[in-house]
Amino acid sequence: MAGAKSFTLAEIAAHLGGDVLGDGQTLISGVATLATAGAGDIAFLANRKYRAQLQTTQAAAVILAPEMADGFAGPRLVLRNPYAAYARVATLLSPALPGPQGVHPSVVSASPLPDDIAIGPGVSIGCGVVFGKKVCIHAGCVIGDGVSLGDDTRLYPRVTIYHGCRIGARGIVHAGAVIGADGFGFAPEGPLWVKIPQLGGVTIGDDVEIGANTTVDRGALEDTVIGDGCKIDNQVQIAHNCHIGANSVIAGCAGIAGSVTLGEHCIIGGAAMIAGHLRIAAGATVSGGTFVMKSIQQPGVHTGVFPLDAHDNWVHNAAHIRRLSKLAERLAELEKKLK
């Protein structure tokens, strides 16, 4: 892979911390699973159910938690969180590919460009845009008037950022994402729908990553807010006036309706749907495919998914569910007669 590097196990430990057991001069050039690792690869064990693979892996070294350190005889790096360590090792070995260099001659900008910016072809930049240090903008992006991009922000191809939106430091926005389009606001007037001007913006904190083709709508009066450290997957919809708490994660195809407030460290599973004007407690997890129709007051895992089944069985069970209220009424009447 372009940009890949090699380090000894001791050098990796110097970057990440942890203890090296075995030969610290073992050269590491890649990461892999226990099952697929080969010469030069470092693997990791984060789930006990794969423990038996420690006996058969061909990995040059393994990242292990202290309680699992004796399970592998070869070189190993011992840390408390092997999964996070794997992520950091992968970043160390395969840094991000370089983006565009300098400013492509096709760029159209109504704002002054700093010397350290990198911009690919076909980019359009409006008036009054504020750039942090070492911003990287890939081909085809459109940046509206008054946008602010923090230090080391990277926009991948065809990102659109509407006027007045702000992205903090070290932001990553993947291809096709749209930040700051109008929220879905219309007032009924007889048979007509009158558009409500969306006068707010979008404020995105530091260290936020936004997936491909995700949309974050601007607020109606106040900003839609994405807190520091949030990670948002592909094809997610975040509607106007939402407040997403710091370090929350939202998986692909989730939809969050307007004026929802997520607390910090929430986890929203793929294809989950959250109705408007609800509050989700800090630390709450919403399972994939769940439809949330009322506020969640407590942390923990919340699930509302009817289990997958063969179609005929599902229809049969759904018919019973529709009759539950009548059955409950009949049971209440029988209980009265027995008293």
Q: Just list the catalytic residues.
A: 240
- CA nearest 100: which of 140, 128, 149, 143? 140
Count of helices and strands (H, E) across the chain: 4, 37
- CA nearest 254: which of 220, 296, 291, 284? 291
Give Cα 12 to chain centroid, integer Å. 26
- CA nearest 162: which of 149, 139, 179? 179
Which one-letter amino acid corresponds to residue 59?
Answer: A
Query: How do the residues of the chain divide into helix, strand and coil, expressed in percent and rounded to 5?
Result: 20, 25, 55
Q: Tell me the DSSP string of 173-193.
A: E-TT-EEEEPP--EEEETTEE
Q: Tell me the DSSP string of 242-264.
A: -EEPTT-EE-TT-EE-TT-EE-T
Question: Measured between alpha carbons, how far is 129 from 153 in angstroms, rounded to an integer?
Answer: 14
Q: Would you call 43 exposed, middle or buried from its count of C-beta atoms within 10 A (0-12, 13-18, 19+)?
A: buried
